[in-house]
Amino acid sequence: MYGVGAVARGQMVRLMKEKGVEIVGAVSRSRDVGRDLGQVCGLGRPLGVLISDDPLIAVAGRSIDIAVHAVTNSLAGSFDQIAVCVNNGINVLTIGTQAINPWGAAPDLAKALDRMARENKVTIAASGFQDVYWINMIIHLAGTSHTIESIQGTARFNINEFGPEVARSYFVGDAVEDFRRSIGKNGPPANTLRYCAERICAAMDLTVQTVSEACEPVIAESDVECTSLSTTVPAGRLIGCTGICDLKTVEGVGLQVRYIRKCYQPGEKDINRWIIHGRPDITIENIDPPTAVATASTTVNRIPDVINAEPGFVTGDQLPQLRYRPLPLHHYVHAALDA
């Protein structure tokens, strides 16, 4: 388990154990280093796996099939973390958003990781909530259309369900002027829905012609609690931001997506709404989708697919259709079935 933040300790470790996964190592940069993974993740029992801040220590002397990576959305930020696993012959399944469409998000880094993976005969892939709700579900719905003019997607999630790194990356607690200065210097933060929209285009044989991005602040109207940072954000400061992306294609189909990341106030719920304008018009909306839980469960169900896949850095279209796994996961690994 590479990364023992909110996603891992909240759901992922527990779900892996429930599906018969043997966890033999854990890596984290947090204050939990040296503690037992089972106790940190609230399993009520130790797993005999001590959390380390050194990935080489975590993998040393162990036969490891896959690393489940839940640290950062940036491919640049996760490059060394993924590389150390790959160079030790370990498959990698990450929830990092740029890995959804690595060839568009960071082609040079993707090429380097792809080469490493092929040389070591392992696979790198990404999954999470976006796997179905923001990519494959939309692709399947589009298949019921005769013509499409545009696709509009809106998603919102609660930053408080994730760790402090997520909160900081979306400017929680910052002053508006600091936010604008950062955007002006560094550009907008990674927008998961942009990478999903690019994957949708690729699956529908649409050629992206132009991409424009913007980012708007979400400002607290009154004091708002941020449990991810263990602080209260005062009125007038940011509790998140909204990423906006507009893709135009050579074929004339446009995709517009809005990705709202904020600390929720009482009564607010997650949003997932997609509208396909065409013949016919199609609308789908998930009422209060379980973003955090589904991120973990989707990733766990993907584990056998990544182990079974051909070596290299693969995208979702190169993996089988996601499905429910009622049996322990080793039953779905080809090597186990062949044996």
Residue 231 domain-assigned (yes or no): yes
Does 127 score more than 80 pLDDT?
yes
| Strands 26-27 and 51-52, sheet pairing | parallel
Let me know whether 40 and 98 are in one domain: yes
Q: Looking at residues 64-73, what average pLDDT do you find?
A: 94
Q: Does residue 278 share a domain with residue 143?
A: yes
pLDDT-derived band of residue 335, with 50, 70 and 90 as boundaries? low
Q: Is 39 within a domain?
A: yes
> Reading across the β-sheet that carries 282-287, which strands appear in turn?
208-219, 238-249, 254-262, 147-158, 271-279, 282-287
In 3-state terms, what secondary structure has residue 229?
coil
Burial pattern 148-182, b for ≥16 Cβ within 10 A else e, equals: bebbebbbbbbbbbbbbbbbebbbbbbeeeebeee
Last residue of a domain, one of 266, 288, 310: 288
In a domain, 83, yes or no: yes
- Give the whole-number percent of the chain exceeding pLDDT 90: 86
In tens, the pLDDT along 147-168 reads 999 999 999 999 998 888 889 9
Please count the structural domains in the chain: 2
pLDDT at 72: 85
Shared domain check, 137 and 124: no
Same domain, 63 and 93: yes
Judged against a pLDDT cut of 90, whether residue 6 lies above it is answered with no
* Confidence band for 314, pLDDT divided at 50, 70 and 90: very high
Residue 33 lies in a domain: yes
Claim to verify: residue 77 and residue 159 sit in the same structural domain: no
Q: What is the mean pLDDT of residues 47-54?
A: 96
**Do 81 and 139 belong to one domain?**
no
Residues 235 and 269 in one domain: yes
67 DSSP β-pair partners: 92
Mean pLDDT confidence for 16-29: 95
The per-residue pLDDT for 189 is 87
Q: Does residue 270 fall inside a structural domain?
A: yes
Where residue 282 sits, what CATH number does that domain have?
Answer: 3.30.360
Are residue 241 and residue 269 in the same domain, yes or no? yes
Asked if 175 and 262 sit in the same domain, the reply is yes
Asked if the structure places residue 175 within a domain, the reply is yes
Q: Is the pLDDT of residue 337 over 50?
A: no
Q: Average the pLDDT over 46-55 and give the result.
A: 95
Structural domain boundaries enclosing 160: 130-288
Asked whether residue 87 falls in the same domain as residue 139, the answer is no
**Burial, 305: exposed, middle or buried (Cβ in 10 Å; 0-12, 13-18, 19+)?**
buried
Which tens digit of pLDDT belongs to each residue from 173-216?
Answer: 999 999 999 999 999 988 999 999 999 999 999 999 999 999 99
Asked whether residue 271 falls in the same domain as residue 298, the answer is: no
Residue with tokens 């993996």: 319
Report if residue 211 sits inside a domain. yes
Sheet containing 91-94: order of strands = 66-69, 91-94, 123-126, 312-313
Establish if 1 belongs to a structural domain: no
Segments in 137-229 forming alpha helices (H): 137-142, 164-169, 176-186, 192-203
Q: Give the domain CATH number at 121.
A: 3.40.50.720
- Predicted confidence (pLDDT) at residue 338 exceeds the cutoff of 80: no
